[in-house]
Amino acid sequence: MAPKLNVYVTEETVPGAGDGPLAGRSVGVKDNISTKGIRTTCGSRMLADYVPPYDATVVKRLTEAGATITGKTNMDEFGMGTTTETSAFGPTRNPVDPTRVPGGSSGGSAAAVAAGETDLALGSDTGGSVRCPAAFCGVVGIKPTYGLVSRYGLVAYANSLEQIGPLAPTVSEAAELLDVIAGPDERDATTRYDDREGHPAETATYADAADGDVDGLSIGVCTELVEGADDRVAERFEAAVDELVAQGAEAKEVSLPSVETAVQAYYVIATSEASSNLARFDGVRYGQSGGYDDNWNQAFADSRASFGPEVKRRILLGTFALSAGYQDRYYRKAQDARAWIRRDFDETFDEVDVVASPTMPVLPFELGESLSDPLTMYLADANTTPVNLANLPAVSVPAGRADGLPVGLQLVGPRFGEKTIIRAASAVDA
């Protein structure tokens, strides 16, 4: 089934070492996470022949835990997309319905798990890229708090937003994978633990938290993130919340007015960081050479021909946002909106334990549906981007199907509140 669905860019087995907690389990690794001796393309022609000389920290932790790596999973080029259709290696298809997209940008990872091509998988989440494909493929995806998982070896798209996260068939399995990859890393100064949770001093693991006990849990239903959802999606979301209430949770409406600015703020900040990060792909340091026969400007321009249309679009948007005369108008305003979103969430978590919304406001797109209309693709990120802007943890857990297509429930927690959202999600998963 793998070739038909196109879940892998490179299939290569890397056996695990010893009898660790993931012994006997297979894990697919998104193709923007460095693997020593195995090419890491980021779904781009620019890096079609790039072979890293080192393993990312998360890859090293996987193999040390006994996991067998099955290969590098397909993705939107440099993580820029919501459908896994911008990959230079062709689109990935959704195992639930091959005429539909699997979501993105970690679509290959989610599709591989959903199709049974691998037990578990790693994705990266910059604006929803773990949770979106989890929702579209009917699996579980966790976006950890910024700083919980090392980004060393992750090819950067937008440094201040992205995190590596697990995808799995169940909440408990996703939590087990999170236990392995989480933790400080001397190679990534952004990794940390939050003293309020006491981790890692606590002996309880994330997997232990998946006990399904939601008695007394307060759930905030964000009106702004529900009102814009497709009616079919909203119906399944409400049913999932009702199930949590039936198990002892308490639901109440909450308002986060700032999230209505999230998509705009996200695409200014993310593209600005991408414009800077992707400057390294000049054909000299990294990427395809533009030749050496003409002047430097022409050689640089020729090297950029290896980027796909969506990547070029986002580089241009980011460069414009940072240009003289426009930085105050766009980038600084986006950062102000980001601060507002973070404050809104902080105040809301004084009232409730988790915030709930549909993961995606729409059902999976048909293949090709959004390619000619990038704005449609961008707006689909409305429910996931606020989490990245606020650097919070979130999980997408299957909430049933509408018209035969998966719907995801998103549960957002306070910073380093992974155990709380895992506990809540496991009650839905049960």
Mapped onto helix, strand or coil, the DSSP state of residue 28 is strand
Give the span between the Cα atoms of 263 and 338, in whole angstroms. 10
Judge if 74 and 108 occupy the same domain. Answer: yes
- Which residues have a Cβ under 8 Å from the Cβ of 45 and sit 6 or more positions away? 88, 288, 306, 307, 308
The question of whether 172 is a catalytic residue gets the answer no
What is the CATH classification number for the domain harbouring 364? Answer: 3.90.1300.10
Q: Which two tokens stand for residue 160?
A: 């201040």
Question: What is the spatial order of strands in the sheet that 26-30 belongs to?
Answer: 8-14, 68-73, 26-30, 120-125, 163-168, 140-143, 394-402, 405-412, 354-358, 218-222, 250-254
Residues 75 and 148 placed together within one structural domain of the fold:
yes
**Residue 414 located in a structural domain:** yes
Tokens at residue 395, please?
A: 């999980």
Question: Which candidate, 384, 390, 381, places its Cα nearest to that of 338?
Answer: 390
The radius of gyration of the chain from alpha carbons, rounded to an integer in Å, stands at: 20
Regarding whether 296 and 411 lie in a shared domain, the answer is: no
Residue 242 lies in a domain: no
Q: Please confirm, yes or no, whether 30 is among the known catalytic residues.
A: yes
Q: Render 83-101 in DSSP notation, one character per residue.
A: SS-S-TT-PPPPSS-TTB-
254: in domain: no
Options 26, 30, 106, 143, the catalytic residue: 30
Q: Are 165 and 140 in contact (CB under 8 A)?
A: no
Are 48 and 101 part of one and the same domain?
Answer: yes
Predicted confidence (pLDDT) per residue in 183-240, tens digit: 999 999 999 855 544 444 455 699 999 999 999 999 999 999 999 899 999 999 999 9
> For this structure, is 143 an active site residue?
no
Which is the catalytic residue, given 26, 44, 87, 129? 129
60, 205: one domain: yes
Domains of the chain: total: 2
Q: What are the pLDDT tens digits along the chain (430 aa)? A: 445 999 999 999 999 988 899 999 999 999 999 999 999 999 999 999 999 999 999 999 999 999 999 999 999 999 999 999 999 999 999 999 999 999 999 999 999 999 999 999 999 999 999 999 999 999 999 999 999 999 999 999 999 999 999 999 999 999 999 999 999 999 999 998 555 444 444 556 999 999 999 999 999 999 999 998 999 999 999 999 999 999 999 999 999 999 999 999 999 999 999 999 998 887 777 877 766 676 777 777 777 888 999 999 999 999 999 988 888 899 999 999 999 999 999 999 999 999 999 999 999 999 998 877 888 889 999 999 999 999 999 999 999 999 999 999 999 999 999 999 999 999 998 7
* Any domain includes 152: yes
SS3 193: coil
Cis previous bond, 91, omega within 30 = no
Give the Cα separation of 98 and 5 in Å (integer). 7
Q: What is the DSSP letter of 350?
A: T
Residue 176 sits in the same domain as residue 131: yes
Q: Is residue 137 part of a domain?
A: yes
Instruction: Specify whether 283 is located in the same domain as 366.
Output: no
Catalytic entry in 44, 87, 105, 396: 105
Residue 303 placed within a domain = yes
Q: Give yes or no: residues 97 and 179 share one domain.
A: yes
Together in a domain, 54 and 173: yes
Q: List the domain range (segments joined by +) for residue 67.
A: 2-211+359-370+386-429
pLDDT tens per residue across span 238-283: 999 999 999 999 999 999 999 999 999 999 999 999 999 998 887 7
pTM confidence score:
0.95
